Structures are given as structure tokens and as C-alpha cells.
Amino acid sequence: MSEADKMCAGQYYNPDDKELVKMRVAARLLSEKFNRTSALKLKKRTRILKSLLGKCGKNIYIEPTFNCDYGSNIYIGKNFFANFGLIILDAAEVRIGDNCFIAPQVGIYTATHPIDEQERIQRICYAKPIYIGDSCWIGGHVTINPGVTLGNNVVVASGAVVTKSFGDNVIIAGNPAKIIRHIEPANSVSPAK
């Protein structure tokens, strides 16, 4: 099993493996090209994103700067907007649904390290996937930690640190994030008062 296979399977892997280093360099070069492309050349930016990401839907827009580890493990649905400073460490899959908005300076991190000091010194890593449902809004300076799943229509308040998964139709906030309110879905009918 290659180090890339181990990484994608959530097993311990060596990040210094030549194949992984080559993949990260390729992603960084594309990210660098994207980040340097003029705001007047939106079609060129979109082409770069399509070659960098594993998959992206129609109407995707990311403000520079955008950085990622590999790019190929990122899957974004249609009607996506991310503001300045998005970082996605995609050693594992990151799947983002349709109609999602991400505010500035958000970090989405699948990569993690062992708690054991000796394993950490050996530079062993592993990763856990992150899934974000449809119609989510992630506020500014949010951190989403490895292994988190957010359901559909989740609003994450600015500055939240998301350390666990949450279901549909909630607003979460804090460090660590917790539910502060449930959202009534837009297509449901409110009872008469």
C-alpha cells in the first residue's frame, strides 16, 4: 500500500514520501498561480480551480488567497462562495455540498498528528475526512477539525472551533462549538398562532 493510499484510508502515513511531496508541490504551484491571477480574469481562475480540485460544481467562486495540501481530495458542489484566506488541509476527503458560503479566514483541517510524543517526533501523520452538507454558512475565522460532519443548513458563528459533528438545521457557536439554536427549515409551515 502506498503512502498516498494509507493517507486516504485514514492510516498512519509518512508525509515525506516522494509521491506525496510531489503532489503537494503540484497543488502549491496551482494555488500560487490561482492566487496571482487578476480579479479581471475570473474564467482563468475557475479553470485553475477545476484543475486543482478533485471536483467542483457550477458557479464556484473563491477569493484569493486560497491554499490547500493536495486539492485532489476536495469536492465542492454548485453555487459555492469562499471569501479571502480559505485554507483546506485535504490529506483526507473534504466534501462540501451545494449552495455553501464560507467567510474570510476559515480553516478546514483533515490532517492530524498522534498524541504519543514518540510517534509525533517520527513525523507520522494521519487524516480524517470532513463533510459539509448543502446550504451551510461558515462564519469568519472558523476552524473545522478532522473528522467533522456538518448536516444541511448549518450556520457556524464566527470564531467557532468545530470539534464534533452536528446534524441539520442548527446554528453552532463557541469553542468548542455547541448548538445555540435550531433553525426551522424554510419549506416547513409554521403553526398558526
Dihedral sign computed on CA atoms, order 111, 123, 49, 92: negative
Task: Name, in order, each residue with C-beta under 8 angstroms of 5's C-beta and a sequence gap of 6 or more.
Answer: none
- The grid coordinates listed for 166 are 452536528
Contact 68, 91 (CB under 8 A): no
Residues identified as active-site: 113
Q: Is the dihedral of CA 83, 140, 153, 8 positive or negative?
A: positive
Q: How far is CA 15 from the centre of its chain?
A: 19
